[in-house]
Structure 1
């Protein structure tokens, strides 16, 4: 082990700057206070494991005092199969500045980062395991192993579906910290994350869509599904829009897949009905719309029924 060296507070070695640049390619994190999640929903489980045999290890600063006189900056990335971090394929990136020495190791919370990335956005975690004075990881030969805790790094980037997330949990890490490339590593994350939650409101527009439809009494109803929640909605579906009352027949199509709706945005679907005859004045009916959706981790499946009163237009034109 090399002799202890003085460390200037907040200074970064060339290897540390490389790590920061590498992590920035995976995610640009805007740090703010995380808004509270919507009431009535539960945290999403987070059970993710990444591993690779292509890690990069460089020299880093050791602790200014105590047994951990050397530093090893471990950089790596791994592909995550669908089902680990949401239903989508994802990527895990790690920047682990181990402090090592005398058969022990630690990870400082301020500099340790893990990013989980999929097409919806990025979740960034800060990891911690021990301190310079109280290391909790083991160093066996050239391999660091042990457990620690993680905390979500708050993010308010508008385009990130995981903005406003919060949560804490535990991790298990194993890494070969021999200087050089092609180093193996494995990192498992467990516990849960609370996300901003979506919510729907439904409005509508009824129209004939042409004289032929008017004469055949085939009415089109455009249902406008608006996400009024603070979180983005995914896997949105219109399950049904069943009419009540006599003389009204739902033609469909139902169910219909809407897809994703960002917070504050609206998506539309059209359902057709056979309605009361031309001679009937004041024709109206109630359609019981049923929608389902999930949050950005494909959790909190939520189904909601919203009754909508449809006034049948009198004239064939809009």
Structure 2
């Protein structure tokens, strides 16, 4: 059997094949995911107090045991940026308290604390004792003591804290005199684990026009896609440097990308000075460095190696 005859490197067919392959490679998208980092749950430590509490008397809630009264206490307080994510937030509580002359309880995770900002709402269920075994103290007009909290399951679309898990402890002190303007103090301690983003990176190389082609200024669009279940925040393209001979990264770097919700994509463009017009099959490797964080601003770096094929023709 005759061996197939190889194309002559100098033949027109060979030259056309090289050009077509190079063009396709220059426009191809190179993908590769950066998996969720598997971060440890984010510590949560918030102390809030105010004199805007409201106390209302309700029908008794306990059918047996020492607790013969029920009161609903509500209040709210601004939470500075940095305590619950990097955003300023709002804490609010709504707690049905069962009490006697000397004891009180928050039974069955009925109490609610919400932490809300522009990203969504995280709801905590508070519990301290029961009708039969109260654990809070009631002395004079005030109750005080500690209990536990867990994150309430939530799947609301658009809430970046959806499906967050977590738990911890709380400490509460509040005047339970019926009325408004009651002072209160609430401390929350524990950890929360929001859904994590997963970043994938694709790229597309192109000339920005005839002048860019002649000056050998190549643009590379890096498409940052979040394929994970959690939203990404504070995304930054820190650099996309190259050590390939004859290629220089121009920039701009760094570039703020911002938030990338789950299932969405953001793009940034970085320019490079590349090899001359006469070069065939010119390519280089870009080391793309990102910073990515979750809804509670926990995260870190993500890196990608990308091989960029320089298009031969100025026409996309």
TM-score normalised by L of structure 1: 0.86
- Structure 1 segment 167-316 matched on structure 2, within 5 A: 167-299=166-298, 301-316=299-314
- Report the counterpart of residue 64 of structure 2 in structure 1: 65
- Report the counterpart of residue 97 of structure 1 in structure 2: 96
- Report the counterpart of residue 80 of structure 2 in structure 1: 81
SS in 2 for 1:57: strand
After superposition, the C-alpha distances for 1:180-234 in whole angstroms (9 at most, x for unaligned) are: 1111111111010111111211101111111110100000000001112211111
After superposition, the C-alpha distances for 1:26-84 in whole angstroms (9 at most, x for unaligned) are: xxxxxxxxxxx956211000101221101111011321122110111001111101111
Contact kept in structure 1, 2:101 and 2:139, CA below 8 Å: no
Distance in 2 between residues matched to 1:109 and 1:156, nearest whole Å: 22
SS in 2 for 1:71: strand
Contact kept in structure 2, 1:53 and 1:184, CA below 8 Å: yes
Contact kept in structure 2, 1:38 and 1:230, CA below 8 Å: no
Distance in 1 between residues matched to 2:122 and 2:283, nearest whole Å: 48
SS in 2 for 1:111: strand
Distance in 1 between residues matched to 2:266 and 2:108, nearest whole Å: 42
Contact kept in structure 2, 1:72 and 1:98, CA below 8 Å: yes
Contact kept in structure 2, 1:208 and 1:218, CA below 8 Å: yes
Match of 2:48 among 36, 47, 50: 50
Please tell me whether Structure 1 or Structure 2 has the larger radius of gyration of its CA atoms. Answer: 2
TM-score normalised by L of structure 2: 0.87
- Report the counterpart of residue 30 of structure 1 in structure 2: none
Q: CA deviation at 1:88?
A: 0.7
- Report the counterpart of residue 160 of structure 2 in structure 1: 161
Q: CA deviation at 1:109?
A: 2.8
Distance in 1 between residues matched to 2:64 and 2:37, nearest whole Å: 47
How many pairs were matched up? 281
- More deviation in 48-57 or 122-131? 48-57
Q: CA deviation at 1:290?
A: 0.9
Question: Which contiguous aligned blocks of 4+ residues in structure 1 show a shift greater than 3 angstroms?
Answer: none
Q: CA deviation at 1:120?
A: 0.4
Distance in 1 between residues matched to 2:227 and 2:132, nearest whole Å: 49
Q: CA deviation at 1:302?
A: 2.1
Contact kept in structure 2, 1:67 and 1:102, CA below 8 Å: no
Contact kept in structure 2, 1:120 and 1:160, CA below 8 Å: yes
Distance in 1 between residues matched to 2:249 and 2:276, nearest whole Å: 15
Answer 1 or 2: which has greater strand percent.
2
Going from structure 1 to structure 2, the CA distance change for 1:256 and 1:39 (only over 3 Å counts) comes to: closer
Distance in 1 between residues matched to 2:157 and 2:192, nearest whole Å: 19
Q: CA deviation at 1:110?
A: 4.1
Distance in 1 between residues matched to 2:109 and 2:145, nearest whole Å: 19
Cα RMSD after superposing both structures: 1.3
For structure 1, the residue ranges without an aligned partner over 5 or more in a row are: 1-36
Distance in 2 between residues matched to 1:209 and 1:39, nearest whole Å: 36
SS in 2 for 1:82: coil
- Report the counterpart of residue 3 of structure 2 in structure 1: none
Q: CA deviation at 1:255?
A: 1.2
Distance in 2 between residues matched to 1:154 and 1:294, nearest whole Å: 22
> Could you say which structure has the greater relative contact order, defined with CA pairs below 8 angstroms and 6 or more residues apart?
2
